[in-house]
Amino acid sequence: MKKVLVAGAGGFIGGYLVKKLLSTGNVVTAVDVKPLEDWYQVHPEASNFSRDLALLSECENSMDGVDEVYNLAADMGGMGFIENNKAACMLSVLINTHLLMAAKENGVKRFFYASSACVYNASKQESEDNPGLKEEDAYPAMPEDGYGWEKLFSERMCRHFYEDYGIETRVARYHNVYGPLGTWDGGREKAPAALARKVSIAKINGTSGIEIWGDGEQTRSFTYIDDCIEGTLRLMESNIHEPINIGSDQMVSINQMVNILEDIAAISLEREYNLGAPKGVRGRNSDNTLVRELMGWEPTVALEDGLRKTYEWIYGEILAKRDRK
């Protein structure tokens, strides 16, 4: 049994992680800047606190007796949010820096940092036919402006706290994590949830079309939440010090994802392409060679299966929201 601090516990991934850690007998301190009523999941078995971990004092207040830290806290969202809130994204560097400082002072043994595929060099993501991004492709550095730079800097901070102070740091580069109980509206949602929402609304309203950002040929790989949690826990228990991909290598275009959602919803839609909307890099995919070699594991949930669960949940949420009005 370990005492574990989960930073960003009120977020999408954090809520699932707290649940899993509790189920395996850990004592969990769950912290998020949001009020408890705004958390995606609240687990009464954990010690739950609303605190701003950008402040060193609040990081110190959260470290008493902690053996391990999982840092998932960040001001982030989908491409629409990232491209229009670069300064806010950069300020998340304070969270990781202050958590590492507090962890060092309190003798924390292991520290996990949730990084992102947004750290990868943009010049390697200019074609929709992306062969897969290897961990080495983060350098020479040319990450996503704002959000990607913060993630890359924080990766380096973890590396140096390991080298200089001996804290066992672990860094995962997540590739587009999605699933039920996540953000699906309001501007911070990512592509799977946004498209599932649009298809659900079209199905419910009986409308015939949806808007797609860009030309729909931009490509990504998407990682189901169960795979994300499994990979995170395996990485934390490993001896891997360098950043590593935690992501599916099942790459699809946005148009192909809409096709899958249409099949799930049993609907056919006309597509209106908004070429001026935020769309990010042209093509991004996870190369899983290293994670297979070092961990003997890689994500296994097919996009079709994960999207079905996500669509069904969002469809239900939309109906429930309407019933409450």
Cis, peptide link before residue 192, omega less than 30° from 0: no
User: Could you tell me which residues come within 8 angstroms of residue 126 by beta carbon, excluding any fewer than 6 positions away?
Assistant: 281, 282, 283
Q: Which one of the listed residues 113, 147, 174, 224 is annotated catalytic?
A: 147
As a whole number of angstroms, the distance between CA 165 and CA 27 comes to 25
What does the block give as tokens for 211? 């808007």
| Main-chain phi, psi angles of 157, to 5 degrees | -60, -45
Give the CA distances from residue 166 to residues 52, 81, 169, 221, 241, in Å, rounded to whole numbers and listed in that order: 26, 36, 9, 34, 11
Contact 115, 172 (CB under 8 A): yes
* Total Cβ atoms within 10 A of residue 38: 11
Written as one letter, the residue type at 257 is M
Report the SS3 class of residue 296: coil
The Cα 69–Cα 35 span in angstroms is 21
139 catalytically annotated: no
Spatial CA neighbour of 76 closest among 182, 181, 170, 197:
182
d(Cα 179, Cα 157) in Å, to the nearest integer?
30
* Distance (Å, whole) CA 212 – CA 253: 12
CA distance 115 to 264: 31
CB-based contact 41:65 (threshold 8 Å): no
Known catalytic residues?
Answer: 147
